[in-house]
Structures are given as structure tokens and as C-alpha cells.
Amino acid sequence: MATPTNPYKTQPERAFWRSAVGSRHYADLMEIWQPMQLRKQDRIGTAGSCFAQHIGNNLAARGAAFMDMEPAPPVFENTAEARKWGYGVFSCRYGNVYTTRQLLQLFDEAHGVRIPTERVWEKEGRFYDALRASVDPVGQDSAETVLALRARHLAAVRSMFAELDVFAFTMGLTEGWENAEDGTMFAVAPGTVAGIYEPSRHVFHNLRAAEIRADMVAFWERLRAVNPRARMLLTVSPVPLAATATQNHVLVATTYSKSVLRAVAGELAEDVDDIHYFPSYEIISSHPGRGMFYEPDLRNVNMFGVNYVMSHFFSGPLAAEFGGQPVVDQEEDPELICDEEKLDS
């Protein structure tokens, strides 16, 4: 067999910009990812930023074994009302897990190897879980009740990690606020939902690439220790930052955050056989899309964009298993629950 004249001669069509992107309509992109192996009976746990909810919603609508470890009690009028209290948003009622540091600390707390110094926040005589303040809009009547509910929640989290087949995690932010004493990272800054911001006690931390990779490697090792069959699906949220605590313009801060997360996710997927990356970030935010998948605020993703992303996710063998056509329309799509939006309210 003759040796190719250059190493690109054997590359497939999808490897060349002109044939794969430049000379075709954006709606006709093909083979943008190599689908992971996934069956309807695989138990799927989800966590992450706001955009992660779309993946869970679509998996559940297509008959996947979406894990709901903390189902809503029968006191809510409907699903939409229950979601405002954190039920059915993700596989457990932890609210948004925006950063890799939150994820790792959640795992460790659920398995009894760390106890955060700051677990309860107060506001106007009501008490809130500092690690998931938004899931309880009215708070509890005592700190003891908050801690009891958290213990129940952590038991559900522990069971999810032990029982899942696939963990789908959408990486959302590099920025977060920590307790200065023990490094516990919160989903929202103290004082935005509840609690009091104390500059001497609460510090801003913009995670670097090396820190994020270390967090994810540590999380992966811990997950496989309790669940050797677990696989992981990583995505990066295409939703820009609502606000930044850095000195940069929010556009610059967003570019930094998403670039770092995308780089780490790609490295992990290349280095570890059972970690997969799905390019929802690229599909929505890349310049060939011309911003058509965003709402007028240029931040939130419209339903056309969501369905386009899902059409690529459920492609190839996954289309045969789950069906390839969109099954969630504008009226049926649940309202996203996003803690970050409170920063700009």
C-alpha cells in the first residue's frame, strides 16, 4: 500500500473546515461527536449548571432511566411548582452545582469525610441550607431542621453515586465564593439568597485549569471506588456568566471560564476511557451559528438551539435506541432553575 503524500490525506471529511462547516448549512452539520454507548436501562444521574437540565429533561422524555432520588412530595399543585423547590430539576435536590469544587466537596460530604464549617444561613428569622440555599424559597424555622434535611439529602446523593451507570455533569463556572476557613465553595455568594457576606470570612476564588482537573480526577477516583462500573458524560454550558466578581469585563470573564472548562473536559475525555465529552458548548456558541440559538438577551439558549443540540446528541446508535427527533417543545419544556440569575436581579 502506497504511503499517503501527507498525514491529512487519510482524514475523514469531518476533519476539514471547508467540507464539514464552511460549505454546508449549519443545520446540516454531521458527525459532530462520536456517541457514547448508552442504553435505555442505564441509570443516569445528572448535576451541573442550568443547561444540564435540558439533557436530563430530554433523556427522561425519551424513556431513559433518569434517576430521581428525591421525588417531590404530593403537596405541590404541579411539576412546575415542585421545581421551584428543587424537586425534579436534577437527580438529587442539590440545586445548581456550578463548579468542580462544589462537586468534589458534595461527594466527600455525602460519604462522611468532610463537614463544612458553614452549613446554615439565616435571613429574616428563617434558616437556609448554605450549600443549596435556593431549593427552599421560604427557609426553615430552625438550624436543626436544616441540618436534618441536609442529612437526608446527603443520603440520597450517596445512593445516587453508588447506583448510577452514567453520571452526566455540565461544567458551568470557574468562579465561586468560599468559606475562608475550610474552603467550602457555595453555589451562590453569601447575601444573594440568604446569609450575610463577610469579607473576612468569604473569599472569591476563580479556579484555574490545574485546580479543575485535579478536582475532576479526584472526583472520578472517588466515584469509581464506590461504583466501579460508573461512566461519566461531560458537557460545558454555553450560557455566558450572568456576572463576574473579577475586575474583567463579563465578556472577557466568560471567555476565560468557558475556555478553561472546555480544555479540561477535553483532556479528561481523551485521557480516560470511560469519560466522554459532548460538544453542546461548541454547537451553540461557535461563530458559524451566528448567535441564532440565543434569546435576545444573548445569554439564554432558545428552544430551537436546545432541540438542535439534542438532535446531535441522539444521533447514530443513540437515535436507534432513543429516537432522534425532538420530543420537548416550548410549552412542554420546564422552566430552568438557575441560581446564578439572582446575581443580576
Helix (H, G, I), strand (E, B) or coil at 123: strand
C-alpha cell read off for 157: 446523593
pLDDT tens per residue, range 94-122: 999 999 999 999 999 999 999 999 999 99
Average pLDDT over residues 176-203: 96
Q: What is the chain's mean pLDDT, rounded?
A: 93
| Residue 1 pLDDT class (50, 70, 90 cuts) | low
- The domain limits of the chain are 37-344
Per-residue pLDDT, 334: 66
Q: Is the pLDDT of residue 328 over 60?
A: no
Locus of grid cell 461527536? 33
Per-residue pLDDT, 274: 97
Specify the pairing of strand 275-277 against strand 231-236.
Answer: parallel
Separation of alpha carbons 202 and 196, rounded Å: 10
Q: Rounded to an integer, what is the distance from CA 271 to the centroid of its chain? A: 21
Per-residue pLDDT, 210: 98
Whether 219 and 97 have beta carbons less than 8 Å apart is answered as no
Average pLDDT over residues 25-38: 94
C-alpha cell read off for 196: 450575610
Whether 283 and 32 have beta carbons less than 8 Å apart is answered as yes
Separation of alpha carbons 269 and 95, rounded Å: 25
Separation of alpha carbons 286 and 197, rounded Å: 37
Region of 295 please: left (phi>0), alpha (psi -120 to 50) or beta.
beta
Least Cα distance to 259 among 184, 206, 300 occurs for: 206
Separation of alpha carbons 329 and 136, rounded Å: 28
Helix (H, G, I), strand (E, B) or coil at 79: helix
Whether the predicted model's global pTM rises above the 0.85 cut: yes
Q: Is the pLDDT of residue 40 over 90?
A: yes
Q: Is the pLDDT of residue 147 over 90?
A: yes
Percent of the chain with pLDDT over 70: 93
Q: How many helices (H) and strands (E) does the chain have?
A: 10, 10
Q: What separation, in Å, do the N-terminal and C-terminal C-alpha atoms of the chain show? A: 65
- The answer to which of 78-92, 110-124, 199-213 has the lowest mean pLDDT is 78-92
Q: Is the pLDDT of residue 69 over 80?
A: yes
Least Cα distance to 179 among 163, 201, 160, 153 occurs for: 201
Separation of alpha carbons 212 and 175, rounded Å: 11
| Residue 154 C-beta-side C-alpha neighbours within 13 Å | 21
Average pLDDT over residues 151-179: 98
C-alpha cell read off for 287: 461563530
Per-residue pLDDT, 337: 67
* Bridge partners (DSSP) listed for residue 140: 127
Average pLDDT over residues 151-166: 98
Residue 282's H or E segment, with its range, is: helix 280-285
Separation of alpha carbons 40 and 60, rounded Å: 10
Interacting residues of 89 by C-beta distance below 8 A, sequence separation 6+: 53, 83, 95, 337
Cβ neighbours around 294 below 10 Å, total:
20
